Amino acid sequence: MVHQQRSQGRLSPSGDTEDIVALLAPRLAHFAGVARTEHVTRAAQEMNVPQSTLSRALVRLEQDLGVDLFARRGRTVSLTPAGRTFLASVERALAEIERAAEEVRADADPATGKVAFGFLHTMGAETVPGLLHAFRADHPRVRFSLVQNYGEAMLERLRAGELDLCLTSPVPDAPDLVARRLDEQKLRLVVPADHRLAARRRVRLAEAADEMFVTLEPGYGLRRITDALCREAGFRPRVAFEGEEAETLRGLVAAGLGVALLPPPAVPRPGVVELTVTAPRAAREIGVAWLAGRPDTPPVAAFKRFLLSRRGHLLPD
């Protein structure tokens, strides 16, 4: 297929794609409207734009491309072979833009919009299901995209715009984030059922200084808290196993492979005993974080208000 070339094309073949898109995008709907009606006056009326504006937009589009898209006979036009090729892609692009616009409008709808919500693995069994159940009592059609991950990974996704809100620990302190403390969760020393400390109800963490520990991997908030508490108790934990999920660590403790500092389980785990740590004070703060300066859609704003209203009683009793 041979396309007729204009001598005064504005776009070079080596032009940056972003420049080409910025130059052409505003004129594509005008082009599609005229191509559909094959009449400039009628297209101008349908699109509610002045005919002169529409005619100039078409001329500029052809100049930018360096290709004739229309054969003209007065105000009646017909597509050239190049115009037909271009139209097929333009219609697909415009349909995709329309689909994207409908999607973002739907996500922002106060009644049926979507919230992208991240939370720690340890909050997935009880805390988050309970929160969502309570929130949807007043917002029954709001949709959620749920992400479970460790704290640093969720903060990265907040910064990337992939999450609206996240529950995390420790509560972050960063200039590009807003964070609010919501609650505190006590940590327990988890030991095997046949351990020398298993008959106790309370223990000082220093009494576990000679034990092998099973912990989360470096980078996890709970790992940083464990290391800090052990340091405060006067020792550095000897780590036998590192994992990614608290209940897996409980299983390792039950198998006699070490002890662990963990939040309470959703369901008691056989084979382990959970001891209250009297010194140092063993707890982690739970907070909600979001990206500073980013406007909230109505459903995100509603869920944020709900979370803040749960300050002090976020966690199950």
- The one-letter amino acid at 125: A
Distance CA 59, CA 298 (A): 42
DSSP H or E run through 47: helix 40-47
Predicted structure pTM score: 0.74
CATH class of the 188-281 domain in this structure: alpha beta
Q: Residues with Cβ < 8 Å from 227, sequence gap 6 or more?
A: 236, 237
Strand partners, 180: 288
* Confidence (pLDDT) at 9: 45
Q: Do the first three CATH levels of 114-184+285-310 and 188-281 match, i.e. the same topology?
A: yes
Domain ranges of the chain: 16-108, 114-184+285-310, 188-281
CATH number given to 114-184+285-310: 3.40.190.10
DSSP H or E run through 67: none
Are 243 and 224 spatial neighbours (Cβ–Cβ below 8 Å)?
no
Inform me whether the pLDDT recorded for 16 exceeds 70: no
At 22-50, the pLDDT tens digits run 566 677 888 888 888 888 888 888 888 88
- The one-letter amino acid at 19: D
Alpha carbon of residue 296 to chain centroid: 13
Band of pLDDT at residue 193, cut at 50, 70 and 90: very high
Architecture of the 16-108 domain:
Orthogonal Bundle (1.10)
pLDDT winner (highest mean) among 63-77, 83-97, 264-278:
264-278
305: left (phi > 0), else alpha (psi -120 to 50), else beta? alpha
